Chain A
Amino acid sequence: MEQSPEVIAAMRQMLADNAAAAEAVVAGARAERESAAAERAAAHEALLDARQKTETLATDFSKKHYALLENDIRKNLTRDFADRLLRAGISVGETAQLLDAPEPLVADLARHLGYVQIKPAESETTIYAWAVFEDQGRGGYLTLHWGTNSPRFWYEFAASPALDLLEIPREEQWEAQTNIPLSQRQQALRFMGEQMLTRRPPGCRFRIEVDSVVIF
């Protein structure tokens, strides 16, 4: 059969296209091969490098784990020390300062211990208040932690119908004996009255008198 020039040209084009397609298949596979070879070389180099530097790597890991451990230990000890300082009557602010601890952490511990956050009269800032009872038979001492002050007050069982009697300095002696501003006296007495009530059944109340807080 005779082939027209157009048919011949088309067939030559087909051969050329086929060769190009074949080359593209090989080129794609070659590129994949080169990429894999590069990955292998990089992985091998990284492994050899690490094997040569085991001492340095070990030292770095050691520093990292010692630092983590030290941080952990310090955090736990700070909490423990803060708890102990608060129980010893050191105020929240001072405890935080002494231990270089965040005040919110210390405040949280204080709240767990029973400290109450209070905004004293005529003061812009809040303080933490806590009452600690020391029973001694028919009476005992109430230590009021009021900010940085910690005055002690004697309380005892009272004659019926009263239950307890907490002795307090009169107004004119208040500041000298407690170091708490007179403007905060009523607030402090109410706080102590509330704390005394926590030791009595529900339904009891307190009354502030000139030189005592009476629980009945």
Chain B
Amino acid sequence: MDNQPINFETYAQTLSQTMADAIARAEALQAEAVADREAAHADQDALRDLLRDLENKAQRAAEDDAPALGKRIKKEMIAQLAERLNNTPEEIEKLLGFVRA
């Protein structure tokens, strides 16, 4: 074992400098981590905005189509009833009261 006496001043300086260097390095790394997380949040926000815009457009387009879609489905349902009741769509419309009998 090295039993050379240790210079106390050097010893004290080494202790504090080692820790000071580590803290400075850690702080630099933490600053980089903060910047990275901010960039990640910005990208996440941009992604959310993109998806929200796409979904809103799709929803509006579907809603604009609602009257035409409603007519088509009503026609399909009347046709289905006509088949099941062995009747014509015109007679079904009368039965349902959509036209006067």
With beta carbons under 8 angstroms apart, the residue of A50, A62, A77 that contacts B62 is A62
Is the contact region of chain B dominated by helix, strand, or loop, or is it mixed? Answer: helix
Whether A64 pairs with B58 at a CB distance below 8 angstroms is: yes
* Interface size grouping (class) on chain B: 35 or more
CA distance A74 to B66 in the complex (A): 12
Given contacts A33-B33, A70-B69, A74-B73, contact A15 B11 (CB under 8 A): yes
Contact (Cβ within 8 A) B73 A81: no
What mask results when residues 24 to 65 of chain B are scored 1 for a CB within 8 Å of chain A, else 0?
A: 011101101110110111011011001100110111011101
User: Could you tell me how many residues of chain A have their Cβ less than 8 Å away from some Cβ of chain B?
Assistant: 55
Which of A51-59, A116-124, A150-158 forms part of the interface with chain B?
A51-59
B23 to chain A, nearest CB (A): 6
Say how far A27's CB is from chain B's closest CB, in angstroms: 9
Asked whether B29 lies within 8 Å of A40 as measured between CB atoms, the reply is: no
A26, CB-defined interface residue at 8 Å? yes
> Residue-by-residue, is A1-38 near B (CB-CB < 8 Å gives 1, otherwise 0)?
01101001101101100110111011011101101110
B-side interface residues toward A, CB under 8 Å? 1-6, 11, 14-15, 18-19, 21-23, 25-27, 29-30, 32-34, 36-37, 39-41, 43-44, 46-47, 50-51, 54-55, 57-59, 61-63, 65-66, 69-70, 73-74, 77, 81, 84-85, 95-97
Q: Give 10 nearest A-B pairs by CB, closest first.
A: A22-B22, A61-B58, A29-B26, A36-B33, A36-B36, A29-B29, A43-B43, A65-B62, A43-B40, A40-B40
- Enumerate 29 A-B pairs (CB-CB under 8 Å) in ascending A order: A12-B2, A12-B6, A15-B15, A15-B18, A26-B29, A29-B26, A29-B27, A29-B30, A30-B29, A32-B33, A33-B29, A36-B32, A36-B34, A37-B32, A40-B43, A43-B40, A43-B44, A51-B50, A54-B54, A58-B54, A65-B55, A65-B61, A69-B63, A70-B69, A70-B73, A74-B77, A77-B74, A81-B96, A99-B81
